[in-house]
Structure 1
Amino acid sequence: MEELTQVWEWTLDVAGYRLVFNATTITMSLIVGGLLIVFGWAATRQKSMIPNPFQVVAEIFVESFWNLTKDALDEDMAKTYFPLICALFMFLLLCNWIGIVPWMSEPTKDLNTTLGLGILGFFLAHYAGIRTKGFAAYAKEYFQPVFFMMPLNVIGELAKVISISFRLYGNIMGGSIIILVVSHLVYGLLIPPFLYAFFGLFVGTVQAFVFTMLTLVYISVQVK
């Protein structure tokens, strides 16, 4: 299990405190971000009625997530939150897929990544709720159906962050553990390639979509 327990770290001493950064997660996240920038450049540099393959893929993403966002929110709000939803899915998809490449590691295998994205979605959803309803109407909902339900309503909202973050982290980390164990048992001869395809491509795609849709649903619930 050394592949999972050994972590490449960066340390920084600031005012007597030692800060530790997961260098693998940061590096992989930067690689994913760089690949997405290159993909965006390749898809838009020569736009035409007869699209190149990159433009075709980009148009599929844009059209699909625009329709999903517009269905969950009204069209005006969709214009605001659609870029976030589409970019979030593409980022998570590539983060989950990159682990199939030798010597690469999924950033979503680190709880810090999934928890950070869950907290981002949490604050965006509640910001959207306050902006749409006003703070008074937004705060009033926590006292429904009766005022003493407020603590439970707050806990329920916080639980969404834990749920969405640990679901993604657990699935990606669990897949990595299964692949690692089976690879050692059969010496990587036959089953691991199938497992890489299943956990990396299929499960990775499903979990990226689930995380993105839950974020969209949380925003939709807060604004309606």
Structure 2
Amino acid sequence: MEDLTKVWTWTLDVAGFHLVFNATTIVMTLIIMGLLIAFGWLATRRTGLIPNPFQIVAELFVDSFWNLTKDALDEDMAKTYFPMICSLFMFLLLCNWIGIVPHMEEPTKDLNTPLGLGIMGFFIAHYAGIKTKGFGAYIKEYFEPIFFMMPLNVIGELAKVISISFRLYGNIMGGSIIILVVSHLVYGLIIPPFLYGFFGVFVGTVQAFVFTMLTLVYISVQVK
């Protein structure tokens, strides 16, 4: 388990506060952001009726998530939130897949990443609800069906952040633990490559999709 507990950190002293940053997560996140920017540039560099391979993949993502977003929200709102939903899935997909590459670590294996994205989705969803319904109607919903249900309704909304974040973190970290344990048992032979394929590609894809769709559903619930 030492491979999981060793963390490369950066420390910074600011105004008497000792700040510690997970350097691995930061570096991996920057690499993924760079890959996404490079992919976007390659996909849009020479668009045409006969698309290049990058354009084909980009159009697949755009078409699929545009339809999903439009089904969950109306078309006008989909134009606002579709870029975020599509980008979120692509970012999480690479975050979950990058662990397949030797010496690379999944940013989603650090709770700060899924929790940060969960909090982001929480604020976006509630902002959309206030903007669509108005502040008065938005607040009124917390007192339904009976006024003293308000604390439970607030807890229910906060629980969504915990649920969506820990689901992603638990699956990615759990997969890493299983791969590490099995690799030590069989000395890195035969089985681990199949586990990397299952937990890295299959589970990573499913969890990225689930997280993205739950974020979309939370927005949809708030605006309707």
TM-score in same-fold range (> 0.5): yes
Name the counterpart of 2:115.
115
Q: Distance in 2 between matches of 1:56 and 1:17?
A: 49
Q: Distance in 2 between matches of 1:92 and 1:138?
A: 30
RMSD (Å), alpha carbons:
0.3
Q: Distance in 1 between matches of 2:109 and 2:43?
A: 29
Name the counterpart of 2:134.
134
Q: Distance in 1 between matches of 2:26 and 2:147?
A: 44
Name the counterpart of 1:171.
171
Alignment-mate amino acid for residue 24 of structure 2: T
Structure 2 length normalisation: TM-score?
1.00
Q: Distance in 2 between matches of 1:101 and 1:40?
A: 21
Alignment-mate amino acid for residue 61 of structure 2: F
| Residues 1-224 of structure 1 aligned to structure 2 (within 5 Å) | 1-224=1-224
Question: Percent identity at matched positions?
Answer: 85
Alignment-mate amino acid for residue 104 of structure 2: M
Runs of 4+ in structure 1 deviating by more than 4 angstroms, as ranges, are none
Quote how far apart the aligned CAs of 1:60 are: 0.2
Alignment-mate amino acid for residue 115 of structure 1: L
Q: Deviations over 1:26-77 (max 9, x none)?
A: 0000000000000000000000100000000000000000000000000000
Alignment-mate amino acid for residue 124 of structure 1: I
Secondary structure of the 2:194 match is helix
Q: Distance in 1 between matches of 2:86 and 2:108?
A: 17
Q: Deviations over 1:87-134 (max 9, x none)?
A: 000000000000000000000000000000000000000000000000
Secondary structure of the 1:20 match is strand
Alignment-mate amino acid for residue 66 of structure 1: W
Secondary structure of the 2:48 match is coil
Quote how far apart the aligned CAs of 1:2 are: 1.2
Residues matched between the structures, number: 224
Q: Distance in 2 between matches of 1:189 and 1:57?
A: 33
Q: Distance in 2 between matches of 1:122 and 1:114?
A: 12
Structure 2 spans left out of the alignment, 5+ residues: none
Q: Distance in 1 between matches of 2:71 and 2:200?
A: 29
Alignment-mate amino acid for residue 37 of structure 1: I
Q: Deviations over 1:170-190 (max 9, x none)?
A: 000000000000000001110
